[in-house]
Chains A and B, each alone.
Chain A
Amino acid sequence: MSNRLEKYIRDNVEQLDRKQPNLAVLDRVLQEMKSKEQGKRGGSVISLRWAKWAAACLLVAAGGIAVWYFNKPQPATGFATTNIPEKRPAPMPKTEPVEPDVVEIKQDPVATFPKVVVHKVQPKKTIVFAGINDMQSAASRINAVTSASRMKNNGKEVVDALVKVLNNDPNTNVRLAALDGLTRFHKQANVRQKLVASLKKQQDPLVQIDMIGLLTGMRELGILSELEEMVNDENVHRAVKDIAWTSIHQLRTR
């Protein structure tokens, strides 16, 4: 087959297209090709060792991404329910019908909580910290307590409110602020009584230490039995026991 094709080409060679471009054109094309080849930079040789390392790193990274993708937690579609019992709302203070005489208490504009107000209630002039139980913010409650303590015309009503905070507020710093406010009224007999009663209710060592210091300074002998109980109570903090022991000594020796 191929012999026949070769024979055919040999016999008809004159009829084949053997045209060549003009020699001047051909020279120019060849010159251009030569100059391009001279300007071309030599190619870089990548070591096979490097390529292996790069491939290994890519594989490791890809593996990591795959592990993450298949193990990632499902996006949250909502909040989980829980079987933890809801906290009961704190009891609201008993209040008389409130007349509209409202005194605002200074509050820094940092938290968006209900406005802290002190309502004057007629005819008993009972001052309550309206809304203090509803305040989520400890800072707002501290502000309410300190502002009430600094009021010029404060009296039994403020004392009652401070005692209530001292006995019930969940935050130690708020209770300490209430105790500080009550210190101003230490000469009042009812304050003395309420402080003695409150000492039994306190569980936080910081509040206990401050109360023991205050009542010892007031030379309140009514706390001696309570102090002795504290000294012997396993659950009372060691630092409180030491302070209680010192106070017992001071009250008995003076």
Chain B
Amino acid sequence: MRKQVVMIALSIASLIATQAQEYKIKRANGKLKIDLPSVTIEGYNGNEIIFTSQSKKAEVDPKAEGLETINNSGYRDNSGLGISVVEKGNTIEVNEVTENQDIKILVPKGVIIAWYWNKVTAGAKAIFRNLENEIEIDSYDDSVRLENVTGPLAVRAVYGYVEVVFRSPVKGPVSISALHASIDVSIPVDTKAGIRLTNLHSPIMVSPDLKIELAKRTEELPNYTTIIEGKLNGGGTDFWLTAKFGKIYLRKTK
């Protein structure tokens, strides 16, 4: 019975594998601007940007052969994945054409990532992994998770939380700003950084293993904001975390 189950599982897996769709572009540097609600972006050692749909494949419409889906904004699905991929100079722009697509993008490590999504998404997530170049993020509603990244990093989030796990060497500047949700960041203990943690209405929590040498502040203006400013391991790259209503957690990378 067990063998039968294994064989069936293998068959189903092979079916799923054959259903995955890909779209590739030869590009190992430049900028990739992504305007998609739900996305997973991973760095790898290659020279192609590879887009894969993780959504269930739509039924094939024989009448649609040779045609492209086009949306309100004029974006055309030229990839077959429900997204538009267009080159503009040194930049590749990716935009949503069909709603609710879940796209995975493999990116060569020399490519700069800029991800924007400024619409309500009901719990969508953007995930970034294994990236060694600059990442720029602008999120309205999505939660954002970055794993095994080095920076530089510029993140702005309105409602979604931001989680970042850095690995050495952390490259600055790092600037993360969140309005309503929390910022949870892990950094290696040996990171050399000029730290500034700012929060308007919520606590700031820091790992005792991170020895921040606090700077003396001269408050010339009345200020209702909590500001922690200082040097970590003698100072270095600018490392700014700014929250208004959510907590800030600064941990050491495990």
A residues near B (Cβ < 8 Å) are: 53-54, 57, 60-61, 63-65, 67-68, 71-74, 76, 79-84, 86, 108, 110-112, 136-139, 142-143, 146, 171-174, 176-177, 183, 186, 204-206, 209, 213-214, 217-218, 237, 239
Contacts and interface: CB of A to CB of B under 8 A. Distances in A.
Interface in B154-208: 154-156, 158, 171-173, 175-177, 179-180, 200
B102 to A, nearest CB: 17
A204 B179 CA distance: 10
A73 to B, nearest CB: 3
Contacts of A142: 152, 154, 173, 175, 238
B214 interface: no
Interface in B1-46: 4, 7-8, 10-11, 14-15, 18-19, 21, 23-25, 29, 31
B75 A217 contact: no
B202 to A, nearest CB: 13
Nearest to A81: B86
Question: 9 closest pairs, A vs B, by CB?
Answer: A73-B80, A80-B78, A139-B152, A68-B18, A217-B221, A64-B15, A173-B175, A138-B154, A172-B156
Interface of B: 4, 7-8, 10-11, 14-15, 18-19, 21, 23-25, 29, 31, 57, 60, 68, 73-76, 78-80, 84-88, 90-91, 112, 114, 133-134, 136, 138, 151-156, 158, 171-173, 175-177, 179-180, 200, 220-225, 237-238, 242, 244-245
A138 B79 contact: no
A217 B177 contact: no
8 contacts: A54-B7, A73-B23, A108-B171, A108-B173, A137-B134, A173-B154, A205-B158, A213-B224
Contacts, number: 154
Contacts of B4: 53
